Amino acid sequence: MKLKGEIHLFLIRLAFLLVFLWVLFGLLFGITTMKNNDMSPRISAGDLLFYYRLEKPKSGDVVVLQKAGEKYVGRVIAAGGDTVEITEDEKVKINGSKIVENDIFYDTPQYESDTVYPLTLNSGEYFILGDQRENAKDSRYFGAVKGKEIKGRVITVLRRSDI
């Protein structure tokens, strides 16, 4: 009889633990791995990313997004109401002004896609670029990202170890 009570108590505790973990990692936080080098040199392929789901992203935030069933990671450079342009000389303009990005070491070429510049973002839309500007799959490739496609803002990166 005592064993049956202990098993019952264990199952109740296990159920509470599972519900707690589901709330923690299903509603508040998320975990994913960086699959490519779109955010290099800051985030590399294989790094583990923790992201927070309950906050609207703002310019400069690194976010995890899902587009056409695939997860991507990129940096928000513009939000609803902003006008974005990728110029012929591979520079980024927001609302008519070239932006200075001290931590971006690559030019930003236009991609051959359906995205037409200048692009004015609607409310709830974001323009997201990878830090590795020459090869990243980002808004130049698939256009503006809707707020509901953004899974969360990256809060921590755990580096992959080659040990």
Strand extents, DSSP E, 34-124: 48-52, 62-67, 70-79, 83-86, 92-94, 97-98, 119-120
Tens digit of each residue's pLDDT (9 = 90 or more) over 27-40: 899 999 999 989 98
* Tokens encoding 94: 């927001």
Quote the CA–CA distance of 91 and 36 in Å, as a whole number.
23
Q: Which helix (H) or strand (E) holds 127?
A: strand 125-129
Reported pTM: 0.84
Q: State in Å, rounded, how far the first CA of the chain is from the last one.
A: 50
Establish how many alpha carbons lie within 13 A of residue 31's alpha carbon, considering only the half-sphere containing its beta carbon. Answer: 7
Considering the chain, what percentage of its residues have pLDDT values greater than 70?
98
Distances (CA, A) of 162 to 41, 75, 134: 16, 26, 26
Overall average pLDDT of the 86-111 stretch: 89
Overall average pLDDT of the 52-79 stretch: 93
- How does residue 149 score in pLDDT terms, banded at 50, 70 and 90? very high
- How does residue 161 score in pLDDT terms, banded at 50, 70 and 90? low
- Backbone φ, ψ for residue 139 (5° rounding): -65, -20
Quote the CA–CA distance of 134 and 140 in Å, as a whole number.
11
Quote the CA–CA distance of 146 and 103 in Å, as a whole number.
26
- 3-class secondary structure, 59: coil
> Residue 162's pLDDT is what?
60
- How does residue 111 score in pLDDT terms, banded at 50, 70 and 90? confident
> Residue 163's pLDDT is what?
47
